[in-house]
Structure 1
Amino acid sequence: MPADPKRKALDGVRMTDRAAILLMSLGEMDAAEVLKNLGPKEVQRVGTAMSQLTNVTQEQVEGVVQLFLDEVSGRTSLGVGSDEYIRAMLTQALGADKASGLIDRILLGGNTTGLDTLKWMESRSVADIIRNEHPQIQAIVIAYLESDQSAEILAHFPEKVRLDIMMRVAALDTVQPAALRELNDILERQFASSAGTQQQALGGVKRAAAIMNYLESSIEAELMDGIKEIDEDLGQEIEDLMFVFENLSDVDDRGIQALLREINTDLLKVALRGSEPALMEKFFGNMSKRAAELLRDDIEAMGPVRVSEVEASQKEILAIARRMADAGDIVLGGAGGGDSMV
């Protein structure tokens, strides 16, 4: 059977861009209703993709809409909008951890807590809110938020404060309901909300490692030295769990191919500048011969690139890789790769 030209038009179009095309096709009001049910990071990714859409063809629009209709039509008989369908859809899209809070708010009508509201704020604003709070309160906030946002918030604190907070994050296990209620109480009144009645797992060594992955290299090295001075074993445990750009060489070929579909060539070109030959060959080997040759030539022809630009590109690719790993699309290898499968 010949390939559907509408589907063919979507070859090479990232999933995020497909979502953006679909939302742009829905119209403002319907798109807004969809976005209301996404978390801050998902809104940011899709919103950025929507703002960057250019030269979208009619075939691509029709292809995206057709894929969506095919997906929905296969489930309509089960009752689109049923609790089971919503739970399955969100869990598949966001992963169990990220979807759980969103499912509760949609299906149970829960309100966004003060802590959840912080996810929508600029990192400097969050840092200002918690700056004068007890270090344990600061650690709970840092452990609760997404790792990349937590890293941005930590960057607004002095070195000694960062070290104290990260030591506390690594030591956290569960947080009593009273502590969460107290934290919500200290936030501005418009963010206050009930915190529930169950203990919540927060922090730990893996959480500390995830946050460290998002810090700027200079801050990361400085913080790791400070942790090792206090507790050498803890510092080594955190370091073993960290996933850095060079660890992508341990991802299997299928995972690299999936990652390549989500990143653009210009970003990869800068990220690979100065990388280990093995990692470069890993990417080249999972591209077409022509694409690999062009990328290799582009890298060789590049002028000097700031180290900060290379690191920023690498961190952006790592963020995409972690998101894909959370969604179950790829398995990250490296030191912490053994924990990626359950």
Structure 2
Amino acid sequence: MSNGRMSGPQKAAALILALGDEHSTMLLSRLHEDEIRDLSQAMASLGAVEATTVEALCQEFAERLGAAGSLVGSYDTTERMLMRSLPKDRVNQIMEEIRGPAGRTMWEKLGNVSEAVLANYLKNEYPQTVAVVLSKVKPDHAARVLALLPESFAMEVVMRMLRMENVQKEALEGVERTLKMEFMSNLARSSRRDSHEVMAEIFNNLDRQAETRIMGALEERNRDSADRIRGLMFTFDDLQRLDAAGIQVLLRAVEKERLIVALKGASQDLKDLFLKNMSERAGKMLRDDIAALGPVRLKDVDEAQAAIVVAAKDLAAQGQIKLTEGRDEMVA
């Protein structure tokens, strides 16, 4: 990187690195937190700086550093230097900000939070706070969040956004601190999923032969884990948890051809559950179609049943149907 292509923060970052720990510590201790954050961001992304560039920077700042040699700005050197002048928790916070996924800012990180989760959090905040947040995230994401807020509350937010001018720096920093401390930290904790839940989802996507083989091996090694995973899995047979209204919603969402293949390999109880929630004419046609289908590969049945399970989960996530939790609550 040449001197001519470097921004002001990058030049300052290079000089801080060139000065060494002792002198840089004295300088950093005299800077404002915002300046330290900007400087840290520049240092962490600086990369290699040639010796000739360092010498040119020294001349520009009227300082003679001697043979400084080449420099490499990295997360490690930045963190090590900050640790000499700031409390550890503050250093961790700064490094988390600049290191966070691809060095994204708080507002960019919010773009990866689903609108449902973000709206659920914001609906309990002051309208002015929500207005600030929605003005900082991308418009399409803000629109989806706004649509999920209660109507009267959403209107309060809209009115404040319309009247909002430049947000004072202190107010913006306050909102950022609140989001980091309350929302993002809680989100990180809640995102730590139980390993058995993760494995249950993986098992749900295995074909029947692979599931039987791996589950059998797991039972020999750790029966408790196998039982727990089996209890968390949601299979085609678990559609018996649905009430009549849920079955009818699912029937409207599933392709007829896929349902025929899925029911071809299903238990009689499950076939009856679907058939009794159809009109007499539609039920008769479905029975005839299943009978006329002939032999079907087990793999095709598994794929059809898995697709219907995915559809049921999607409908449940949208609140259109309700799935009871746990196989011990299943009703035949």
Larger Rg: 2
TM, length-normalised to structure 1: 0.41
User: What TM-score do the two structures reach when normalised by structure 2?
Assistant: 0.43
Higher relative contact order (CA 8 A, sep 6+): 1
